[in-house]
Amino acid sequence: MKIIIAPDSFKGCMSARQACEAIERGVRGVLPDAECVLVPMADGGEGTVQSLVDATGGTMLEATVTGPLGAPVRARYGMLGDGRTAIIEMAAASGIGYVDETTRDPRVTTTYGVGELIRDALDRGVTSFIIGLGGSATNDGGAGMAQALGAHLLDDDGEELHFGGAALAGLAAIDVSELDPRIATADIRLASDVTNPLTGPQGASVVFGPQKGADAATVTELDAALRHYASIAARDLGRDVESVPGAGAAGGLGAGFLAFTGARMRSGVSLVVEATGLKELAAGADWCFTGEGGIDGQTRYGKTPIGVAHAVKEAAPHCTVVALAGNVGDGIGELYGEGIDAVFGIVPGAQSLERALASGTANLERCASNVARLIACATGAAPRA
């Protein structure tokens, strides 16, 4: 019997790797002879770097880079097991966690540190990148990232623009003659489920600016600056990225990658499925356990459990997919036509959130054990007493 174990992290409780191990303990306690294949998963958001490093036998790396407010920060990123692919969460260098209520200001925050992380990886021989777009403190359209990689964003006097989204209103020309040539040949995949364009009512400034500290006047200012930036990029780079779905991700960093590199936008979970080789590992599987902290009707919109279900069913159409969750919300019936065959909540009874988090690993192991007993009954396997 082959069992794929491919959960996301249970946020605030355990990593994807720890969740894999808890489920495996529960299963093996009942079905000791089962072939268990552990594949830590993620959907491109927080925890993706660690999940992919764990799943591929990679390593974590660190570099000192420029934070969103211009001060040095120590940022981590991952090198996958192939030794040539870096996985970078932009939030590690330019995330909202580096600012607070008094310092957040999307007019001045920069993605320069993201470019520095990319440059550090290039210096280590990396030729392929997976970039997680999310959790940004920025609204600079990826201008800082491009500057860190050698692009020059110039004002009317031929001077380099200052950091931040507001400065883009003064952009007169873009010069890429000194852009790091290694970027031209790098394979860059952007992990994001955001489909917002760069500007307009659904753009980066209007939709995401307020959570980064922008009031109504600042939103208008930033949206106009990004529109101007996009027009100069179209003129000088020959790439019109203003209305491309996903260009507004991470304060327009998506647009920056699309304008200055050959990056491709992908859904986060599909990238993780590809990087972990989940489909190949799932060939011939009989059962699959997936899950994450919360599952509800929204899970079908690109969350890890549904991505795992699609991938596993493609590789092994008769495999039964079981999802485990700390919280089971409304609308799970909509998941049953999407490849998930059953959903189980792991919390044994009414309890505080604090207690549920503290006992999450034990709860997950116990729930997996109970499901394994059902599997034993359904297949005629002899369960361990």
- Taken as a whole, the chain contains a residue count of 385
Q: In sequence order, what are the beta bridge partners of 153?
A: 174
Neighbour tally for 152: CB within 10 Å: 17
Instruction: Give 102's contacts (C-beta < 8 A, 6+ positions apart).
Output: none
Residue 371's nearest CA partner among 337, 342, 328, 333 is 342
> How many whole angstroms separate alpha carbon 17 and alpha carbon 191?
20
Q: How far, in Å, CA of 59 to CA of 126, rounded?
A: 13
| DSSP secondary structure of 241-302 | -TTSTTTTHHHHHHHHHHHHS--EEE-HHHHHHHHHTHHHHHTT-SEEEEEEEEESGGGGTT
- Tokens 């790797």 correspond to 17
Cβ(258)–Cβ(247) below 8 Å: yes
Contacts of 154 (CB under 8 A, 6+ apart): 160, 161, 171, 172, 173, 174, 175
Do the Cβ atoms of 330 and 350 come closer than 8 Å? no
Residue with tokens 């969750």: 325
Ranges of each domain in the chain: 2-38+279-379, 48-266
Kind plus residue range of the DSSP H or E element containing 101: none
Q: Can you identify the CATH homologous superfamily of domain 48-266?
A: Glycerate kinase, domain 2 (3.90.1510.10)
Q: Residue 152's Cα: distance from chain center in Å? A: 29
Distance in angstroms (rounded) separating the CA atoms of residues 159 and 300: 48
Q: Which two tokens stand for residue 312?
A: 């596993």
Nearest to 90 by CA among 54, 55, 129, 59: 129
**Cα torsion angle, 20, 25, 28, 29, sign:** negative
List the chain pLDDT tens, one digit each, 385 residues. 999 999 999 988 899 999 999 999 999 999 999 999 999 998 877 778 988 998 899 999 999 999 999 999 999 999 999 999 999 999 999 999 999 999 999 999 999 999 999 999 999 999 999 999 988 999 999 999 999 999 999 999 999 999 999 999 999 999 999 999 999 999 999 998 788 999 999 999 999 999 999 999 999 999 999 999 999 999 999 999 999 999 999 999 999 999 999 999 998 899 999 989 999 999 999 999 999 999 999 888 888 999 999 999 999 999 999 999 998 999 999 999 899 999 999 988 777 778 777 778 999 999 999 999 999 998 887 777 6
Q: What distances in angstroms separate CA 85 from CA 17, 180, 383, one per listed residue? A: 20, 18, 42
Residue type, 140: D
Output the pLDDT for position 385: 64
What's the gap between Cα 235 and its chain centre? 31
CATH number of the structural domain 2-38+279-379: 3.40.50.10350
Give the pairing of strands 2-5 and 187-191: unpaired
Kindly report the pTM of this predicted structure. 0.84
- The amino acid that residue 284 corresponds to is G
